[in-house]
């Protein structure tokens, strides 16, 4: 039992160190990734447009744009051209502000990938691109259907493609499943279970429980963001999943006692929940880039 206690303490300490300091503002946030294919052969700025004029609240450029301006990295003429191209009844989120909530994201991307995140990411938006030579292109009105979405702009064809809703849900599901499999798999080995004998039950249990969790929380976390309702649902949902997995592992894991199997199930779920809460967004970004 002392050995189990040491393993449990080690896993919990690892989770705490990897997750970092807990703040009230942790957890997945709204995000929109814009991938530009066949992009301009010259410098350009890309911004998201949201409906409505700015009437107070959070105004001014995003933190990233502001920092770039302080470093002298912003082409002010190109920025002015972008702001001038914003149509009436809309505003540029990163360049001009969001009118109520902060947003992260700059005007230049990385290898054609532009990421905007935090509470100010609009649900209804347009994509605006302005090049150094003065060419302007603006998409039609799009809607972000899930918490963290991705769209593709084909600059050559002057089109924007929003993937089907099921793609967004699938990517979101994978961004939670992959870290879960990684951390719970490592903990399985720490508990000295033989992988060859137990990988099937391990994979089946996680596929079923993660699918159930994604469906259960889809209305709040994927469509409405993370708020009080999400926290109210997330904690008991994770507790229920931990108890279910512990019960299944107690019966089907091979090689050690039932007590160890239960302890593994509870420990693995605690660690993956704590770490996954912080690394959901980086995992999502990675999946979007490779998909």
For 160-200, the pLDDT digits (tens) are 998 776 776 777 677 778 888 998 999 999 999 999 999 99
Q: What is the DSSP letter of 147?
A: S
Rounded to 10 degrees, the C-alpha dihedral 237/287/128/74 comes to 110
Give percent of the chain with pLDDT exceeding 90: 49
For 14-68, the pLDDT digits (tens) are 434 433 433 344 456 788 999 999 999 999 999 999 998 776 544 678 889 989 9
Q: Which pLDDT belongs to residue 94? A: 93
For 42, other C-beta atoms within 10 Å of its C-beta total 9
Q: Which pLDDT belongs to residue 2? A: 47
pLDDT at 1 over 60: no
Model confidence, pTM:
0.63
For 223-245, the pLDDT digits (tens) are 555 555 566 667 788 888 899 99
Rounded to 10 degrees, the C-alpha dihedral 282/285/290/291 comes to 130
């Amino acid at each position: 039992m002392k050995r189990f206690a040491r393993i449990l303490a080690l896993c919990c300490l690892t989770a705490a160190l990897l997750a970092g300091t807990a703040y009230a503002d942790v957890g997945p946030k709204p995000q929109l990734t814009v991938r530009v294919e066949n992009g301009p052969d010259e410098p350009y700025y890309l911004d998201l447009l949201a409906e409505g004029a700015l009437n107070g609240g959070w105004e001014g450029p995003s933190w990233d744009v502001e920092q770039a301006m302080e470093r002298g990295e912003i082409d002010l003429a190109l920025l002015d051209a972008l702001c001038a191209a914003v149509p009436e009844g809309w505003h540029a989120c990163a360049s001009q502000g969001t009118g109520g909530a902060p947003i992260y994201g700059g005007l230049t991307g990385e290898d054609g990938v532009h990421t905007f995140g935090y509470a100010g990411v609009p649900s209804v938006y347009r994509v605006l691109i302005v090049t150094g030579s003065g060419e302007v292109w603006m998409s039609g009105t799009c809607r972000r259907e899930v918490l963290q979405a991705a769209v593709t702009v084909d600059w050559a064809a002057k089109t924007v493609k929003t993937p089907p809703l099921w793609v967004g849900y699938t990517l979101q599901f994978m961004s939670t499943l992959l870290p879960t499999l990684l951390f719970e798999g490592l903990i399985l080995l720490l508990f000295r279970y033989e992988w060859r004998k137990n990988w099937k039950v391990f994979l089946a249990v996680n596929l079923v429980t993660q699918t159930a969790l994604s469906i259960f929380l889809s209305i709040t976390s994927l469509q409405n963001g993370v708020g009080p309702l999400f926290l109210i649902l997330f904690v008991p949902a994770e507790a229920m999943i931990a108890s279910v997995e512990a019960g299944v592992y107690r019966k089907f894991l091979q090689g050690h006692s039932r007590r160890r199997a239960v302890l593994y199930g509870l420990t693995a779920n605690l660690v993956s929940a704590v770490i996954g809460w912080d690394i959901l967004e980086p995992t999502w970004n990675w999946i979007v880039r490779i998909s």
